[in-house]
Amino acid sequence: MIETKWELIDSLEREWRDALCAKDIARLRLLIHPKFVLIGTRSIGPFTLSREEWLDAIQKRELISIDLDVKDAYVRESMIIGTVEARWRVSYLGRPIEDSVLLTDVWVHEEGRWQCVRRHSSPIPPASSPTPKPHKK
C-alpha cells in the first residue's frame, strides 16, 4: 500500500519509466493523459510535443537506461505535482544521447487512475570543472 506522497509519485514515475523501457505503448497510453503536453527547452529553443508526437518520438529511440530521483511532491485529492531529476541514455536515429533533466510532472486522477497531463523538462547543465587556482610563485 502506498502511504506517503513520496511513495505515490515514485511509484507513478517508475511505472512510466518501466513502460517506456519496455516500449509498452498500451501501458503508456494509460499513464499519459490524452491532453498531455511535454514542454521543454533545449539549446535550439523551447518546444512542445503532444501525447501522440511524444509516443511517436519514443518509438524511434533505443533506450539504454533511465535513473530517477524524486526531489519533491505536492499531492492533493485529484492532482500531484512531482519534481523529478532524471538521467537517461538513449540512441536516437543511431546517435547516442546522454541527458540530465529536471522534470515537473502534473498528474491528475480521473476515471479511477492517475495520468500525467503535463511534463516540463529543463536540462541540467553538466557539472562544471573546478576553476584552477592561481599558480603561486
Does residue 30 belong to any structural domain of this protein? yes
Number of domains in the chain: 1
Phi, psi angle pair for 53, to nearest 5°: -65, -40
Does residue 133 belong to any structural domain of this protein? no
Which residue range forms the structural domain that includes residue 98? Answer: 5-123
Task: Say what the pTM is.
Answer: 0.83
Tell me, what CATH number does 66's domain have?
3.10.450.50
Does residue 128 belong to any structural domain of this protein? no
pLDDT tier at 137, thresholds 50, 70, 90: very low
Does residue 135 belong to any structural domain of this protein? no
Does residue 16 belong to any structural domain of this protein? yes
Instruction: Give dist(CA 74, CA 127) in Å, integer.
Output: 28
Does residue 87 belong to any structural domain of this protein? yes
* 8-49 residue pLDDT tens: 999 999 999 999 989 999 999 999 999 999 999 877 889 999
Does residue 66 belong to any structural domain of this protein? yes
pLDDT tier at 136, thresholds 50, 70, 90: very low
Q: What does the block give as the cell for 118?
A: 503535463
User: Which one of 47-56, 60-69, 90-99, 126-135 scores highest in mean pLDDT?
Assistant: 47-56
Does residue 129 belong to any structural domain of this protein? no
Instruction: Give dist(CA 16, CA 12) in Å, integer.
Output: 6
Instruction: Give dist(CA 1, CA 16) in Å, integer.
Output: 18
